[in-house]
Each structure stands twice: as C-alpha cells, then as structure tokens.
Structure 1
Amino acid sequence: MKLLLAATPLTGHVNPLLAVAQAASERGDEVVVTTSEDFRRKVEEAGFRCRPYADDHGPEYRETALPPGPERGRREFERRFIDGMPRQAELLRSLIAEERPDVVVAGSMFLGVLPLLLDSRKRPPIVTVNVSFLFLDRPDGAPLGPGLPPARDAIERARYAAIKAEVDAAFTDQVRAYTDAVLARSGLPGLPASLTQAILTLPDAVVQLGVPAFEYDFAPLPPQIRFVGALPPPAVSGPRPGWWADLDRARRIVLVTQGTLANADFGELVEPTFQALADRDDVLVVATTGGRPLDAIRFPVPANGRVATFLPFGDLMPRLDALVTNGGYGTVIAALQAGVPVVSAGLTEDKAEVGTRVGWSGVGINLAANRPDPQTLRRSIDAVLDEPGYRARAQAMAEEFARHDTPREILSVIDAVRQMHPAGRRDPNGPSC
C-alpha cells in the first residue's frame, strides 16, 4: 500500500504523523510525507520521502496590530489555518495525481483535505489523525475553547448556552462563514457544520489520540471516530544532556515544559516553577525549551534545576513524579500514558480545554492561568506529589492506554477505509468506516 501523509507544520502535529509513517513503513508500506519546507530535514532524517510546500501562512500569521482578545484570536486562526487551505488542496490534488496513493492520512488541522472531502471528484480515502482533544460539538451545549467542564444540571446548561451564544457570535460563526467564503471561491459548497465538527465528521475515518476516560461523554460518537490511545513519543537525536545521570540520584523528579508553540516567554511557567521549588533538596526540576536555544532561559536556574532543548519523553516520562505543563495535548497524554499526575496551566490554543480535562478527570490540577505565581505552583505540585489520589487516577488512566496497540489500530483503520472506499467517496454525506 502507498500512503500520502499530510502534516500541519508544527512540531506537535508533525511528530504523530511521523509515528504513523514509521508504523506503516515497518510493515512494508510506501510512505510519502508532505509538510512545510521547514520540516523537510526532520522528515528525511526519519527515513521518509518528503514533498514539501511553502508555508506562506505560517510564520507571519500573528496579528500584532490588534490588541489581545477574541478578534485577534479569530483572525490569527484564520490566517494560520484557513488562508492556506486552497493551496494545500491544490498541493494534495497534484500529489495524488503524481504519487497515486491508496490512502491519504492527514493531521486534523491540515485543512487542505476539506475541499477534497466536499468535492464530488474522485479521490483516495482520507483518514484524519486528531492530535488534540475531541473537539466535537458538546452535548451539554458548552462552547469549545473556554474550557468548561461538563454541565451538572439544567441551570449550568442554561449558563453554557448563553456563553456559547457569545462565543459563536465572536468566533465560531465567523470562522465558519470565513471558511465557507474561501470554499466558495473554489466553487465548493460550504461546511455542513461548524469547522471543528466538520474536521471530525467529513473524513472517511478519524483516529482520535487519547482514551475515553480523558474525554467527556459524547455518546454516541460518529461512527467514523475511533479512540486509539497514544503513539510512542518521538526519538530525540543526539546525546542526552550531561546531567542525565542526576536523574538516578533524585528522590523526586518534576518536568516543566511550555511545549514547542507557546514558549516565547519562559516567564509564564518555566521560571515560576523553578522559583516555586528552588529551595527543595528533595526535588529535581527538569525543563525543556521545546527546541529554543538554552540562552532563551534568561533567569537563574536554581541548583536543583536542569535544562535541555529537547528531552527523550519515552525514557523520561516513566521516571517522573509530576508534570507541570501549559496544557499541550500531546505532552499531557504522554504523561498519562506513563501514569504521571499533571499540573496544567495555559489558556491559549487548545490548552484551556486540555487543562479542564486534567482537573475533571482527577489526574491532576488545572490552574487555568497563563502565568501562575510560584506560591500557587508550589501548593499544586506538592498536592500531586503528596496526595495519592492524583497518581492513582493517573495510573488508572495509564492502564487504559496500555490496552491499546496504537500503531496497529491506526493501520487497521487505514486498511479498513481502503477496502470500503477504494476510490474514495463522491458523497460527503455517505457512509463512513
């Protein structure tokens, strides 16, 4: 079988697709990857042929002329993900004609698949890998984004409905209208639902990274969506940091990370975490810069602190006693896969939703703040270290992850859509795998 993998050019989106590529290659499939030129080397070093494209809507998507707020957030989202959709679709059609893949596998925010899914022209089957939380429309009527836990009663549902009306007016409806206008310029029909709903319901199949225990009750799920657990963390090239042996001598190990996207200001989370635990001789605090140079850390690192640009999460996570994160979905599920309790901060991108799930599921504490203070962090970290309930629930979550053979399950979904839709679907409302 030949697969064409399409990845949004962000580290947290490329890595899962490369893990899928590795699993497919190991069983003998031919794999071609398309992502931006910036990730070409990463793809080729992983052993795959890359057909890169120019990510014209990536580096300059920030709307710095607008003040922080809903309008700026909406416009940045449109520039980052929607403006490039027609060019991505043209790229996919060209690559499909040249490469003749049996199946296209795309990350959930690679929106170039949407024009193909809405078009009546023949295409290969399309499988989406969702690298974020399950962003379906909520059955309790809550909007996506603010990080609201499931409604407990009719009063809360009514409150959520009012909040959703505001979010829809400021963001959801405008994003849908903007997307429909972009589609119309290509002669295509508009979305059948909100953009997030369409991303997870239009493809022939959707593999959802994670487990149901970390998600709200969306039963019944659309038939094409399947939870598959967690993919293995990416390997880190190069030697381990010189301080790696210190992990063997540490009584307790805490990792703090702001991921690879919201890491422009380490004063938001990394610095206050170091400050919170600076006087502790019973805790080793490890930080990763998410690929930024070490001199981006512009504050004193305490004696019990260690820093690296990247760390091998596959080796590190099982050794941790706690994770402090700004709520990156991939990092959180990697910790839960290892049974590690979480302190989550962060309100940008999808992080408010991820943090709320951390608190709601009982696997950790949600601080719901972009810049928590050291005192709050210290109390929260002590709680997840000392109160056994957090680790017990994280370990129960790990047992659920362990029941999945994620690479095999994803490949089985790919095989199924190829058999059911060998030439792709003409009707976007037709049956799905």
Structure 2
Amino acid sequence: MTRILMTSPPIYGHLVSVVAVAGGLVARGFDVDVLTGAKYRGLVTRAGARFLPLPREVDYDDADLDAFLPGRANHTGLAGLRHDMIGMFARVVPGQDAALTQALAAGDYVAVIGDVAFGGTMPLLLRSRDDATRRAQRPLVLGLSSVPVTMTSIDTAPFGLGLAPAPGVLGRARNRVLNRLVNDVLLREVDVALAAALCTCGITTAHPRFFDAAALFDGLFQLSTSGLEYPRRELDGRVAYLGPLPPVPRGDLPLPDWWADLDAGTPVVHVTQGTIDNHDPARLIVPTIRALAGSAVTVVAATGGRDVAEVLAHFPEGLPTNARVAEFLPYDALLPRTAAMVTNGGFGGVQQALRHGIPLAVAGATEDKPEVAARVAWAGAGIDLRSGAPKPARIRAAVDRLLRDERYRRGAQRLQGEIAAAGDPFDAIAARVCEHARARVA
C-alpha cells in the first residue's frame, strides 16, 4: 500500500484541510499518517489516518495561543503579525524538522504533503535543493494551501496589505517599493528568526522568505480556483488549482424550528464570523442584523459554535422579526437558499459560497482575511468592506448593491463555473502521488 505522510501546524484552520485530504486519500486506498498537534489526535484518526505527534516544545493549543506566546496580547497590528509569525511558524521549524526527519526514517513514504504553514518541510527541501542524489532519495514533497497564494511577485503588492494588483509600469513600480518595504524592513525580524531556526537545522545557505517558501515544493496544490487569484508571472505553472474541497454533509445537524421561513420567498442573507474569530458577535453578526432590520430580506446568522445567547444579549428588545440565529447550520442545505452572504473572510467559507454562486460582502481585518476580501472584490464576486467591524450603514449599502446589481452575481457565478469544472481534488492529488510512485520503481 502506498504510504503518504501529511504535516500541519496544530491550527484548526490549516489542519482541517489536511485531514480532509487525508480522509479522501484513505478512501482511495492510500496509507496515510498525519503529523500534527496532540489536541487533534481524534480528528486525524476519525478520518482513517494514523496520528503522529509533534514534539511538546513545538505543540500548542490554537485556542490558547497566549500560553504558547507570552506577551501576545501586547502586540497588535503589524507588530502582532510579526510576533505570531516568529513564534508560531519560524521558531518551531527545528522541532518540526526533527519530528519530520524521525517519521521519514521510520516509514517508507512515497510522498510528503505539507500544509504551506508547516515550516518543518523547509529544511528537507533545502538540503536536497542543490543535491540531485539527495533529491532522488527523498519522497516527493508537495505543498497544500488553504490560504491565498502568498508568494512575492512584481505583479502584486506584498501579501497582507489587502491591495489588488495595479496595472502597467506604475503598478509594478508600486509593487517593487512595497515589496522592499515589507520584506526588508517591516518583516525583517521574521526573516532573521527563520534564518536562525534553519541554521539550527544545519541550513546556512540562502533560503526564501517565509511567504515565498512554497516555491521550494515539488508542486503546490492550491485549494481554490485561479479566477480568485492574482496573476503572477513567477508562478509559471507551478501551482495546481484544485478548487475548494467538497463540503462535508452535516446530516447530523438538526434543522431549527424556523427553517421553513427560509422558503417564504424573501431573499436570504447569511452572516457568519466563522469558527475561530467569533468571540465578539458585535464585530459583524450584530451590526448585520441591525443593518437589515425591517428590510425585505431574511437574515440568517450562524455563530460558529458560540452560544446564541451571546447574540441575543445585544437585543434586549428582542431580535428583529426578520432575523434568525443558530450555532451551526448545514451549508449544504442553507447555501442553495442564500441570495447574499456577509462574512469575516474565512477562505474556506468564502469559497463554499462561491461554489453556489453567492455574491459576498467581506469584512476581513486579521490573518489572511484582508487578502481574501481584496480578491473577492477584484474578481467581481463581491464587495470589500475594508473593516473587520463595519458600521451597519455600510453593511446595508453593500447588501443592497449585492442584491440589486447583477454584476456581482455574474462574477460569483463565473467562479462557481470554475469550481464545478475543477473536478475532484482528491483524485488530482492521488494521481500526482501515483505518477511519482510509478516513476520511482520504473
């Protein structure tokens, strides 16, 4: 049986895609191990894969990052991004590398498939980059990306700024200046920390910056569609766009008693803050409900696991009559009924909406969310609200535009068509691994 090793940092937003791919490969007859944090042992084994633990010194609870990164609460904005990148992704590289090296020594793996945020694959790839013999001896190493493409390009502004491409000579000049500013000044500490971590692993040669590390992989599987990604001349076919992973049916979720209201004929507007950055519903869910109160739509909010009472507490007078709230809702049943979506910019949720041709208003402010918001607007599939906590008036204006201006729906439907044409992502990954396995024994 063909063996595959998959790797992920212990962060649910990254691991969930890795585990989904692991389950898809197990169902296709592969023997799959997953190297990640102890908290997620059950998630891995339920997918049919074998769990391999990260060393304790590089394992952490993604729900309590302050415990792993003391002082994290004191860093915000760009300083917070630097602090997180250094602590969660750079300094952990030696421990991840040691665990990966140990796993490879113990198992005959045909391929390693690593989430792009798992820096432990960098030493493996750098050791063999200029050594054909070592490259032939190691497994195929593929990247798996559930976030927008981060790689630096003359055609785009640096990742994280949320800026769409600007055309022509002036646009490229802008990008040169911003790339130099971000890479050589604002995020220089991250590169220094990564260099120190790689040195600990015995790597002293030149290496790419963290956001460019995906270029080292033998191939990169991007879990999105090319129509939602900026063109970059540097990619040159290295990225395989597989489309988003298919949603997992949630037949176990009971439908709320108000479910029939969604078939009453008024447009349904869904609002979500995802399952991670959802501790404060006043950032997006509450202002969306207030914004659309009294309008001819039905607002459906999902708290992502938070108690519904946290939303109701903001409405002592009672919810508006056109609002409905639940902790979780089955997307396979909700999205076909949805006319527009207001979201905090989680990449997976955005693409599930686009799978159904739903135009979006995106309120991204943290992590990769500003980049997601900018891409949705650039692709013509929605509106970038340019704030993580937009005012009700701004939300209402955006939703009105989404419902009235057919250009947004056409943009979303164009991406819907691309997603439908992408085929089965699990089959594409399996085919690449099998191709390498056949070449190895030829």
> TM-score when scaled to structure 2?
0.88
Amino acid corresponding to residue 238 of structure 1 in structure 2: D
What is the CA–CA distance in structure 2 between the aligned matches of 1:277 and 1:292, rounded to whole Å? 22
With over 3 angstroms needed to count, the CA separation of the structure-2 counterparts of 1:307 and 1:93, relative to structure 1, is farther
Aligned to 1:320: 338
Using the TM superposition, name which of 376-385 and 398-407 deviates more.
Answer: 398-407
Aligned to 1:416: 435
Aligned to 1:148: 163
Native 8 Å contact 1:204 1:417 kept in 2: no
Native 8 Å contact 2:154 2:175 kept in 1: no
The partner residue of 1:407 within 407, 410, 426 is: 426
Describe the SS at the equivalent of 1:51. Answer: strand
Describe the SS at the equivalent of 2:342. Answer: strand
Native 8 Å contact 1:125 1:421 kept in 2: no
Question: Is 2:188 the counterpart of 1:176?
Answer: no
Native 8 Å contact 1:176 1:191 kept in 2: no
Aligned to 2:308: 294
Describe the SS at the equivalent of 2:403. Answer: helix
Aligned to 1:426: none
What is the CA–CA distance in structure 1 between the aligned matches of 2:21 and 2:441, rounded to whole Å? 20
**Per chain length, whose mean CA-contact separation is higher, i.e. which structure has more relative contact order (CA < 8 Å, sep 6+)?**
1
What is the CA–CA distance in structure 1 between the aligned matches of 2:18 and 2:79, rounded to whole Å? 31
What is the CA–CA distance in structure 1 between the aligned matches of 2:342 and 2:434, rounded to whole Å? 38
With over 3 angstroms needed to count, the CA separation of the structure-2 counterparts of 1:190 and 1:271, relative to structure 1, is farther
What is the CA–CA distance in structure 2 between the aligned matches of 1:166 and 1:220, rounded to whole Å? 20
Question: Is 2:118 the counterpart of 1:113?
Answer: no
Aligned to 2:402: 384
With over 3 angstroms needed to count, the CA separation of the structure-2 counterparts of 1:236 and 1:171, relative to structure 1, is farther
Question: Is 2:84 the counterpart of 1:76?
Answer: yes
- Aligned-residue offset at 1:135: 1.4
1:325-340 equivalence runs, <5 A:
325-340=343-358
Describe the SS at the equivalent of 2:427. Answer: helix
Aligned to 1:38: 39
- Aligned-residue offset at 1:354: 1.0
What is the CA–CA distance in structure 1 between the aligned matches of 2:437 and 2:328, rounded to whole Å? 37
With over 3 angstroms needed to count, the CA separation of the structure-2 counterparts of 1:234 and 1:265, relative to structure 1, is same
What is the CA–CA distance in structure 2 between the aligned matches of 1:20 and 1:342, rounded to whole Å? 27
Aligned to 1:430: none
Native 8 Å contact 2:5 2:111 kept in 1: yes
- Aligned-residue offset at 1:191: 5.1
Aligned to 1:345: 363
What is the CA–CA distance in structure 2 between the aligned matches of 1:241 and 1:191, rounded to whole Å? 55
Native 8 Å contact 2:141 2:219 kept in 1: yes
- Aligned-residue offset at 1:260: 2.5
The partner residue of 1:56 within 57, 60, 64 is: 60
Native 8 Å contact 1:209 1:228 kept in 2: yes
Gaps of 5+ in 2: 129-133
Native 8 Å contact 1:105 1:127 kept in 2: yes
Describe the SS at the equivalent of 2:275. Answer: coil
Could you give the per-residue CA deviations for residues 22-76 of structure 1, whole angstroms, max 9, x where no partner exists?
2212221122222212222222333333223342374233744534232232012
Amino acid corresponding to residue 407 of structure 1 in structure 2: F
> TM-score when scaled to structure 1?
0.90
Aligned to 2:416: 398
With over 3 angstroms needed to count, the CA separation of the structure-2 counterparts of 1:36 and 1:148, relative to structure 1, is same
Native 8 Å contact 1:63 1:76 kept in 2: no
Using the TM superposition, name which of 150-159 and 79-88 deviates more.
Answer: 150-159
Gaps of 5+ in 1: 424-433
Describe the SS at the equivalent of 1:343. Answer: strand
- Aligned-residue offset at 1:222: 4.1
Amino acid corresponding to residue 392 of structure 2 in structure 1: P
Could you give the per-residue CA deviations for residues 143-164 of structure 1, whole angstroms, max 9, x where no partner exists?
2211111112333433343333
Amino acid corresponding to residue 341 of structure 1 in structure 2: P
With over 3 angstroms needed to count, the CA separation of the structure-2 counterparts of 1:401 and 1:172, relative to structure 1, is same
With over 3 angstroms needed to count, the CA separation of the structure-2 counterparts of 1:65 and 1:133, relative to structure 1, is closer
Amino acid corresponding to residue 281 of structure 2 in structure 1: F
What is the CA–CA distance in structure 2 between the aligned matches of 1:57 and 1:85, rounded to whole Å? 17
Native 8 Å contact 2:82 2:190 kept in 1: yes
Aligned to 2:131: none
What is the CA–CA distance in structure 1 between the aligned matches of 2:8 and 2:330, rounded to whole Å? 22
Question: Is 2:116 the counterpart of 1:98?
Answer: no
Native 8 Å contact 1:234 1:312 kept in 2: no
Could you give the per-residue CA deviations for residues 147-183 of structure 1, whole angstroms, max 9, x where no partner exists?
1111123334333433333322443333222101111
Describe the SS at the equivalent of 2:282. Answer: coil
With over 3 angstroms needed to count, the CA separation of the structure-2 counterparts of 1:371 and 1:104, relative to structure 1, is same
Aligned to 2:5: 4
Describe the SS at the equivalent of 1:321. Answer: strand
1:220-235 equivalence runs, <5 A:
221-235=235-249
Describe the SS at the equivalent of 1:221. Answer: coil
The partner residue of 1:285 within 299, 322, 327 is: 299
Question: Is 2:366 the counterpart of 1:365?
Answer: no
Amino acid corresponding to residue 51 of structure 1 in structure 2: L
- Aligned-residue offset at 1:278: 2.0
Amino acid corresponding to residue 426 of structure 2 in structure 1: P
Native 8 Å contact 1:345 1:368 kept in 2: yes
